[in-house]
Structure 1
């Protein structure tokens, strides 16, 4: 059974995926979540895209050397980088909420710079906001492993400096771009889809950037379904709503 490697968003950690991992376990699907450099158990390590992609590749190797890589936001961009650098390890890519290009990075660089000036305050604000956006166990999982705003400028720069479309075009495997219909990071989704050699766009109605995590069972089932499709379903290039 094809395993899943889950990659977290900026300033968070692997614990954000705990509710999804629980559902994947119930489905009998082997899965793990990885901490990226500068986050979680790897706090203090410098964040580079090469180091982040290597961390994901190591997690894939620990599960047998081939997996569906699924990441949200920063994790999705890291998934794209991993697919470009280690295509044999990435059996398929589920890139969630990460279809904005570096040309729109200015506001994100500014916000990251502000957060890094006073990370302890930014961490508290982030924790409060995440718990409000996603009440209950999902929000608690988001912050359980800590919040790490000090690494945000490095992560934003790494994403902005990566040629996302070239990276996608170089990857021969299947790609699913998953966006909430209310996610502002949808802005360049059509360009991302065109860049994929074997891609599909999946839209989640009435969900924002983080809102796709609000239904971890549905997200786990989707990941399992995509695993099952990797070697069996022909490419359609179609758009789907879930």
Structure 2
């Protein structure tokens, strides 16, 4: 049997690639997987975060798995994944972007820039609070995966500054491959999801009912199913099979 499509998972701000362990333990049974630490995070927390460096980390993980993969990113990792897909479409066979359909501009950016500076200035307190919140609100296995690689809020201002220069809708419009936009129903980052969907050349939108920005990671089986179905579509397309039509919403509810 031919080797299945590789999958690269990209984590969110101040955490690390360990966040994806509950999902990769499931999908890794039939797909090669990687979940690299981005600059400024996890095992690379001493490396300055820039968007270029983050994209390089994702492409390096893709190349290590053979040079082409489905890329799955959440929050900051979703924006990095979008940028990677736009810049390296030959490496990104498909894109699953969770919790990143809001443009980092205006009032939203100002709020997160202020929060990032406060967290960075009070790093130990902010990281302790995040650890407590993860363990209180998420299933145990997911919460422990969130904190296993260590938290570090000091990199947050760098990340916010780097993403403030990103135009994710333009980047999405430049990517020719299939895209799955996935949001929690209660996630403020879904604010522009329909506008993001419209610019996709081959896009689908999924909404997970009652989930927030973080709790959309709570059900690893659901996420694994979404990723497996996306990988199946990409693999079928590579073999000349029929793809699901853009706009389908398997496993969630239409916005």
TM-score grouping bracket, smaller chain normalisation: over 0.9
CA distance in 2, matches of 1:126, 1:7: 19
Corresponding residue for residue 169 of structure 1: 173
Could you report, residue by residue, the CA deviation over 1:76-113 in whole angstroms, capped at 9, with x for unpaired residues?
00000100111100000000000011222110000001
Give TM-score, length-normalised by structure 1.
0.96
For structure 1, which runs of at least 5 residues remain unmatched after alignment? none
1:107 matched to 2:116: no
Instruction: Mark the CA change 1:233 to 1:71 in structure 2 (over 3 Å): closer, same or farther.
Output: farther
CA distance in 2, matches of 1:234, 1:33: 27
CA distance in 1, matches of 2:139, 2:221: 16
Corresponding residue for residue 47 of structure 1: 49
Corresponding residue for residue 124 of structure 1: 128
CA distance in 2, matches of 1:42, 1:233: 41
Could you report, residue by residue, the CA deviation over 1:147-173 in whole angstroms, capped at 9, with x for unpaired residues?
010000111121221011110111111
Which secondary structure does the structure 1 equivalent of 2:70 belong to? strand
CA distance in 2, matches of 1:227, 1:239: 15
For the aligned residue pairs, the C-alpha RMSD in angstroms reads 1.2
Could you report, residue by residue, the CA deviation over 1:31-62 in whole angstroms, capped at 9, with x for unpaired residues?
11010000001011111111001100000001
Conserved 8 A contact 2:233-2:244 = no
The alpha-carbon deviation at position 25 of structure 1 amounts to 2.3
The alpha-carbon deviation at position 236 of structure 1 amounts to 2.6
Corresponding residue for residue 197 of structure 2: 193
4+ residue runs over 4 A deviation:
none
User: Given the alignment, which residue of 205, 208, 227 partners 2:231?
Assistant: 227
CA distance in 2, matches of 1:59, 1:233: 29
Corresponding residue for residue 237 of structure 1: 246
CA distance in 2, matches of 1:141, 1:159: 25
What is the number of equivalent residue pairs in this alignment? 241
Which secondary structure does the structure 1 equivalent of 2:229 belong to? helix
Conserved 8 A contact 1:179-1:186 = yes
Which secondary structure does the structure 2 equivalent of 1:102 belong to? coil
Q: Which moved more, 1:68-77 or 1:158-167?
A: 158-167
Q: Which moved more, 1:101-110 or 1:32-41?
A: 101-110
Corresponding residue for residue 56 of structure 1: 58
Which secondary structure does the structure 2 equivalent of 1:200 belong to? strand
Conserved 8 A contact 1:175-1:198 = yes
CA distance in 2, matches of 1:195, 1:37: 29
